Structure 1
Amino acid sequence: MRRVRTWLPGLFLVAPSIVAIGVFVYGMLGWNVRLAMTDKHDEVSEGDFVGLTNFVDLWDEARWHLSVNHAIVFTVVFVAGALLLGWFLAFLMEKGVRGEGTFRAVYLFPMAVSFVATGIVWRWLMNSGQDERAVGLNRLFGWLGLPQWDWFRDQEWGMAAMALPAIWQMSGYVMALFLAGFRAVPEELREAARVDGCTEWGVYRHVVLPLLRPVTLSALIILGHISLKVFDLIVAVAGKQIITDVPAVFMWVAVFDSHDPAKGATIASYIVLSVAVFVIPYLIWTVRRERRP
């Protein structure tokens, strides 16, 4: 009875949050999956249950394949670029530079800007106009005598260029994560490695970097789920174009332009599943790690 009295007040305290999450997160997810399993391909019909038909039929559409390929390219470039740049900035900061607080604020500032604002600025920077019509980065490259690019309009490297604004915005956050990881490594371990004859690179390779695996995994999960459901940045930079299509944009077009709720719900379900592939293993790993003595 005493145990019940101990946890009962806490349960009442978090009950509103549990109900809200249950209704607006898991309830909406369930409703979306239910809609994806119907043939409601217009806004007036009720829709009959068709099982996984929509999930299978979606793979017969060329636009879906294109959007998935674009999402994969964007994810690889964005995650790798943000991790490498964030790690490098943290490495420089960890070495100790004058005005560290100023540099840290400058690196973190892009994260305070929304993806929409970032996209509007980078839409001008990555304008594909060349020669006398060049603006943004192409204008700068013209002055320097460097090649000018089509940026996100390029059919082969367009999505790689689209990842540049996202790298610019999130690398500061990754830098903060790695910098905290660097500062958490005990100096005694570094000194012991140096006494054993390790070079400075050897200290980082054999001592510091292995201890940063949890930080790296956390950054990978955060960046991965952001990239898989990216929407606002793509639309702000390029609009709803086929050449920069990703699943989230395809979902918007299916629901609001083509008026096909079932297809939009199917695409949304695939996005949720792709994010779960990143997040669920991380949660399992975290729980197991916390249970270790």
Structure 2
Amino acid sequence: MEKRKKKKRSKDQWTAIAFLMPSVVLLFIFVYGFIGWTGYVSFSNWNSLVPDFSFAGLKNYLYLFGDFRFQADLRNMLFFTLLFIALIILLGLSLAVLIDKKIKGESIFRNIFFFPMALSFVVTGVVWQWILNPSTGINNFLKTFGIEPMWYTDTNILAGFRWGEIEFGLPVAIISVVIAAVWQLTGFALAMYLAGLRGIPDELREAARMDGASELRIYRKIILPQLRPITAAVIIMMAHISLKIFDLIYAMTGPGANFVTDMPGVYMFETTFRGNYYAQGAAIAIIMLLVVAIFIVPYLWNNRRADK
């Protein structure tokens, strides 16, 4: 009987492996294989229509880090990511707390905030490009109050100082893109936090109230600490999206005047597929991959240790 169970278990394991192997092979070819190929091209001299795989060393990377546009892209990516993640967490958590109060029409509010997630970033970019157009959209209403912001056409840099080839500071134009991205993805954070709040037993809150704890203290000492894993997951997911964002920028603003709304993804696309600088485009892609890995790898490593 024991031998039969072991034989059945072994057969089930081999069946599972047989079903998984095609996916594993395709994953290694079309993900890791292409990453390796991109890395190889980034160290070559292939910067024309004619392939040239002669070794160039770090030439493409050194060129990028001394390039005005790429330095502006790194600045934009940094401030976009910080603002985007901060607002997503703040709004997502606040809305989840309000909806968790079992208000009337809860399903209506949930649907309102979840609806933008059904749209693509291209649609969002086109819609918000019109809404925030300095000569149309919301500015027609703001003009009655004497307010005429330039939105994504503004080239000013807040608290800027000279850094390399660029002025380092918060580009005012990037705020417009942040508004559009936050509008679309706040529903994701809301869903995550709402699920977390609904998973916390009511007994914990009742016990704290009986001990005389205020609602603010309950959230600070009980609720928020238990939501830390969800916050970490939201940060990782949003960082992954913001660091490699392309479609929203391309549809809404493009690189922008003086590259104030440009991102590495847009630069990589134009360098590779419009300029035919394949090695430089590959170098941009590898740098983007490494930046994303800085966020993703520690998170995966901690999860792996926690599962042991």
Deviation at 1:218, TM superposition (A): 0.3
Letter in 2 for 1:72: L
What residue is the counterpart of 1:138 in the other structure? 139
Structure with the larger strand share: 2
Q: Distance in 2 between matches of 1:189 and 1:288?
A: 28
Match in the other structure for 1:239: 254
Candidates 64, 70, 94, aligned match of 2:76: 70
Q: What's the CA shift for 1:96?
A: 1.4
1:4 CA displacement: 4.4
Query: Per-residue deviation at 1:79?
Result: 0.9
- Aligned CA-pair RMSD: 1.4
Q: Distance in 2 between matches of 1:137 and 1:71?
A: 26
Within the candidate set 56, 74, 88, 1:82 is matched to 88
Identity level (%) = 38
1:217 alignment partner in structure 2: 232
TM-score (norm 1): 0.94
Aligned to 2:53: 47
From 10, 27, 32, give the equivalent of 2:16: 10
Distance 1:258 1:138 in 2: 36
C-alpha displacement of 1:203: 0.4
8 Å Cα contact 2:117-2:184 kept in structure 1: yes
Hey, which bits of structure 1, 4+ residues long, moved more than 2 A?
Answer: 1-6, 50-53, 239-243
Aligned match of 2:292: 275
> What's the TM-score, normalizing by structure 2?
0.89
- Which segment is superposed worse, 24-33 or 56-65? 56-65
Q: Give the Å deviation of 1:197.
A: 1.5
The CA deviation at 1:215 is: 0.3
Aligned partner of 1:151 in structure 2 is: 151
The CA deviation at 1:48 is 0.6
Instruction: Look up the match of 1:132.
Output: none
What are the ranges of 5 or more consecutive residues in structure 2 without an aligned counterpart? Answer: 1-5, 158-171
Q: How does 1:5-44 map onto structure 2 within 5 Å?
A: 5-44=11-50
Q: Confirm or deny: 8 A CA contact 1:126 1:152 kept in the other structure.
A: yes
2:49–2:276 contact (8 Å) kept in structure 1: yes
Deviation readout 1:14-54 (Å, 9 max, x if unpaired): 11111111111111111100100111111203221223332
CA distance in 1, matches of 2:223, 2:132: 37
After TM superposition, list the pairs within 5 Å mapping 1:60-209 onto structure 2. Answer: 60-129=66-135, 135-143=136-144, 145=145, 147-155=147-155, 156=157, 157-209=172-224
Q: What CA deviation, in whole Å up to 9, does each residue of 1:90-136 have, x standing for no partner? A: 1110111111111111110000000000000000011022xxxxx21
Structure 2 Cα separation of the partners of residues 197 and 288 of structure 1 = 38
Q: Name which of structure 1's ranges 238-247 and 279-288 shifts more when overlaid on structure 2.
A: 238-247
Q: Does structure 1 retain, via aligned residues, the 8 Å contact 2:70–2:264?
A: yes
The Cα shift of 1:12 comes to: 0.3
SS at match of 1:270: helix
Alpha-carbon distance in structure 2 between the residues aligned to 1:109 and 1:45: 46
Distance 2:198 2:143 in 1: 42
- Residue pair 2:255, 2:263 contacting (<8 A) in 1 also: no
Q: Is the 8 A contact 2:47 2:276 kept in 1?
A: yes
CA distance in structure 2 between the aligned counterparts of 1:89 and 1:267, rounded to whole angstroms: 37
After TM superposition, the structure 1 stretch with the greater mean CA deviation from structure 2, 51-60 or 151-160, is 51-60
Name the structure 2 match of 1:252.
Answer: 269
- Partners of 2:55 and 2:212 in 1: CA distance: 68
Whose helix fraction is larger, Structure 1's or Structure 2's? 1
Query: Is the contact between residue 142 and residue 148 of structure 1 (CA under 8 Å) also seen in structure 2?
Result: yes
State the distance in 1 between where 2:193 and 2:141 align: 32
Contact 1:73/1:160 (<8 A) preserved: no
State the Cα distance separating 1:163 from its structure 2 match.
0.8
What is the total number of aligned residue pairs between the two structures? 285
